Structure 1
Amino acid sequence: MKKKVQILFMISIIFVGGFTAGTLFAKNSANYESAKMVKTAEQSTKKPFQKNFPELSEAPSKVLIGYVQDYRDPDAIDYSKLTHVIFSFVHPEKDGSLSFNGEAASSNLRRMVSNAQKHDAKAFLAVGGWFHINGGESYEYFKSAIESLSSREKLVKELVSVAERENLDGIDVDFEHPRSKKDAQYLAAFINDLSNKLHAANKELSVAVHSKIHSVTGTVTDFVVYDPSMFKQVDFVNIMAYDGQWDGGYNAANLSPFPFTKKIVNYWSYLFDAHSISRDKLVLGVPLYGQPENPAIKQVSYEAIINNRNPEYAVKDKISMNGTTYYYNGEETMEKKTKLALTNRFGGMMIWEVGLDAKGPYSLSGAIAQALDNAKTKPEKYYSVKSSD
Structure 2
Amino acid sequence: MVAAALLALSVPFRVAGYLPDWRAADFQESWAKGLTEVIVFSASPKSDGSLDTSKLDHFPWAKLRALRTKQGTRITFALGGWDRGTANFPVVAHDPALRNTFAKAVNAACDKYKLDGVDFDWEHPKNPTEEADYGKLVQAVKESFKGKDRTTSLTIAGWQKFPKDKLQYCDFVQLMGYDHEGKHSTMEDTVKDLDLVAALGAKPAQTVLGVPFYGRTYKGQKSEATYADIASRFTLKPEDDTAGDFYFNGPKTIAAKVALARKRKLAGVMIWEIGQDATGPLSLLAAINRAKP
Normalised by the length of structure 2, the TM-score is 0.90
- Counterpart CA distance in 2 for 1:295 and 1:173 is 33
1:126 aligns with 2:84: no
1:112: how far off? 5.4
Q: For residues 259-310 of structure 1, give each alpha carbon's deviation from its aligned partner in whole angstroms, at most 9, with x where no partner exists.
A: 11111122223443xxxx6421000001111102467553110111112222
1:71 aligns with 2:22: yes
Of the three residues 338, 351, 362, the one matched with 2:282 is 362
Equivalent pairs, count: 286
Q: Is the radius of gyration larger for structure 1 or structure 2?
A: 1
- Counterpart CA distance in 1 for 2:216 and 2:54 is 26
Q: For residues 323-362 of structure 1, give each alpha carbon's deviation from its aligned partner in whole angstroms, at most 9, with x where no partner exists.
A: xx10111111111111112111111001111111112332
Task: Name the SS of the counterpart of 1:202 in structure 2.
Answer: coil
1:177: how far off? 1.4
Partner in structure 1 of residue 224 of structure 2: 299
Partner in structure 2 of residue 141 of structure 1: 88
- Counterpart CA distance in 2 for 1:262 and 1:55 is 28
- Counterpart CA distance in 1 for 2:39 and 2:113 is 13
Partner in structure 2 of residue 202 of structure 1: 149
Partner in structure 2 of residue 159 of structure 1: 106
Task: Name the SS of the counterpart of 1:280 in structure 2.
Answer: helix
Q: Which runs of 5 or more residues in structure 2 are unaligned? A: none
1:108: how far off? 0.7
1:166: how far off? 0.9
Paired-residue identity, %: 26
1:76: how far off? 2.1
Any conservation in 1 of the 2:255–2:291 contact (CA below 8 Å)? Answer: yes
Of the three residues 225, 242, 245, the one matched with 1:318 is 242
- Counterpart CA distance in 2 for 1:95 and 1:58 is 43
Cα pair distance change 1:57/1:231, threshold 3 Å: closer
Any conservation in 1 of the 2:32–2:274 contact (CA below 8 Å)? Answer: no
Any conservation in 2 of the 1:87–1:109 contact (CA below 8 Å)? Answer: no
Partner in structure 2 of residue 89 of structure 1: 42
1:225 aligns with 2:225: no
Amino acid at match of 2:273: E
Of the three residues 243, 267, 271, the one matched with 2:179 is 243
Task: Name the SS of the counterpart of 2:270 in structure 1.
Answer: strand
Cα pair distance change 1:161/1:289, threshold 3 Å: same
Normalised by the length of structure 1, the TM-score is 0.69
Amino acid at match of 1:68: L
Cα pair distance change 1:56/1:240, threshold 3 Å: closer
Any conservation in 2 of the 1:180–1:225 contact (CA below 8 Å)? Answer: no
Cα pair distance change 1:303/1:229, threshold 3 Å: same
1:288 aligns with 2:223: no
Task: Name the SS of the counterpart of 2:88 in structure 1.
Answer: helix
Any conservation in 2 of the 1:113–1:167 contact (CA below 8 Å)? Answer: no
Of the three residues 192, 214, 217, the one matched with 1:263 is 192
Task: Name the SS of the counterpart of 2:132 in structure 1.
Answer: helix
Partner in structure 2 of residue 234 of structure 1: 170
